[in-house]
Amino acid sequence: MRTMLSLPCQKPNGPAITDLSSLVSKFGTCVGALNPDAWFPPEPNPSGGESPEALAIRRADYENTARQLCGPCPVRTQCLELALREEHDLPQTWFHGIRGGKAPWQRRSMVRRRRQAAARQITETSEAVA
């Protein structure tokens, strides 16, 4: 049985990317998995000609797979934080695979919200100084 490791990863001054990477590489459920490709299933394509209903079903299946694969992982939270930091400045088309129990489109949304929050904070700080 694995023990859950908990670090305060949500803080901007949290662990360095190298520390997160080390934890995930050492304790991640995906490390040494018999089928590492399981974390990179075919992704539902919004421009693939599927109906919105079919796309929603495929996305739900993908998200369920992500939860199942990463649910028992003792470093799921750290893995997600690592993914969000690594993908922060990448183009949307570079987000692939399951990381931290999330699908690429879920992480894109989370990165977008982080960027918006950071922009608001910069605006509020500059207005307070002015």
- Alpha-carbon gap, residue 68 to 104, rounded angstroms: 16
Distance CA 52, CA 128 (A): 45
State the amino acid at position 125 in one-letter form: T
Amino acid at 109: S
Q: Which pLDDT value is given to residue 49?
A: 85
pLDDT grade for 130, boundaries at 50, 70 and 90: low
Segment 34-54 shows an average pLDDT of: 91
Q: Please compute the mean of the pLDDT values over residues 13-37 and round it to a whole number.
A: 92
Q: What single-letter DSSP state applies at residue 130?
A: -
Prediction pTM value: 0.80
- Please give the Cα distance from 122 to 32 (Å, whole number): 42
